[in-house]
Structure 1
Amino acid sequence: MRIVHFEKGGAPGIAADEGSGWHGLTERESGFPGTLPELIAQGADLSRVGRDLLPMQAIDLNAVRILPPVPKPPKILCVGLNYDDHLEESGLKKPVYLEIFARFATSLIAHGELIRLPPESSTLDYEAELAVVIGRGGRRIKRDRALDHVAGYSLFNDATIREFQLRTPQWTMGKNFDGTGAFGPWLVTSDALPPGAHGLRIQGRLNGRVMQESSTDKLIFNVSALIEMISVAISLEPGDVIITGTPGGVGAARKPPVFMQPGDVFEVEIEGMGVLSNPVQRESQEEASR
């Protein structure tokens, strides 16, 4: 089941698709079950909600504004260096413990929205990634129960200003420029995918050219391991998002480097989940001075 969070005429909406097209409701209509972020926060059975939406009116996603599945997650926890080929191109050794850094909600954009290239740098890089949305909170979650805490999965482009990322050992600045974290287009419920979204082809394309290609079974720390290891220290909450890491092929590691430019389009595709697509635009001076 795919479930999308959208806005139409200023009203939030929710729609579901199980292969026969999108059907749903807006907040202004009778029977509206709540927004996707609200339902995740409540721990709702999203597959059941989706099934209840299927008899509703057809929704044309081209006629609405698609929003990130969770526009303001309590936490966005990103994993670095989680594919062997990305380690190799970065010249780094295989980690014995996961590399974690934070993103903030102010960096998030939806499917179709503009990735913004800031005037301070031209080193805007792409990173195709699998996103995990937490549906049930907890601390010190055991690995064999970790997937019970997942509401579903989505796609993410962890676009990075490399120049700022590499200025210091801490990656926070380079990973948090406004308008760089593309997230969506929708959430895919856990029961629609293999456990832990394992074994799915993941691809990143720049203007149609394949730049990254791998499989989620090549994650060094898989989804269950990430949930267990993160929750040792950090209480996970419904709506938290874990970004699981990117495969090799990033622009900074290429010779010569390939960075995203105004007018480019970057797509993330994960098998059975769909495509996240975003154009790139240079941030205007007006936007930059806000």
Structure 2
Amino acid sequence: MPRGSRKKSESKMYHVMIRGNERKEIFLDDDDKLRFIEILKEKKQDKKYSIYAYCLMDNHVHLLVNEGNETISQIMKKINISYAYYFNKKYSRIGHLFQDRFKSEAIEDEGYLLSAVRYIHNNPVKAHIVMQAEDYKWSSYGLYVGKCQYAKDSIDEEFILGIFSCEREKAVELFKEFSRQENQDSFIEYKEEEKVNKTIQNEQEAKEYIIEQLRKHNVSLEEITNVANIRIRNDLIVKLKNKSSLSVRQIAEILGIGRNIVQRVQ
């Protein structure tokens, strides 16, 4: 079936979401997230477009972009190619890192724009990672409230704050108040298809499965890092990826190995 054309925004503003290919994690450690933020800074230095908000999750990213003098497709291509090059080189992998087509929705009015910013910053709250948006390190929320100096210049927060007030201190307080309001915000999201038809539903079931499989080979969990047992280890990784909804991080922690190993095994 041919793809439908991307809806064009008359305001040039878009809420964009990118996800790892095959729902895999695209950030395996904090350095990966820092590098992605650096790329956001680098690619917007010519000021042809603006980024108003971001949130980095382990396997996907939310962005709020004003395409300015570039198309949204050109912008995302530059960002995605740069990060994929870094990631593939660091983890000695090849192939596509991101799902082949990013999702986007047009933002046409001020109310929808502010709601999109709030939705993006509250993504970790919705995912039960933190209690409040301000507690999450890897979103642009901190830049709005005067924190996260390491991410300075990665977004153009003044435009959004200016909607609340021309006085920055007052604007920040109003922004915080708005961000904490109860709401029914609904924006693009990926369906969690990976949870469907999975026989291993949680970490405890995964541990029981691992013990059962290792018993067949007369190998202990501690011994799977031995060179002689690499094939057994890799087979376990593949089966856990296919049979469970566990993240790369969870699989790595249960097996006692590095996340880059889990990421590379196909």
Shorter-chain TM-score tier: under 0.3
Structure with a larger share of its residues in strand: 1
TM-score w.r.t. length of structure 1? 0.25
Higher relative contact order structure (alpha carbons within 8 Å, sequence separation ≥ 6): 1
TM-score w.r.t. length of structure 2? 0.27
Structure with a larger share of its residues in helix: 2
Larger radius of gyration: 2
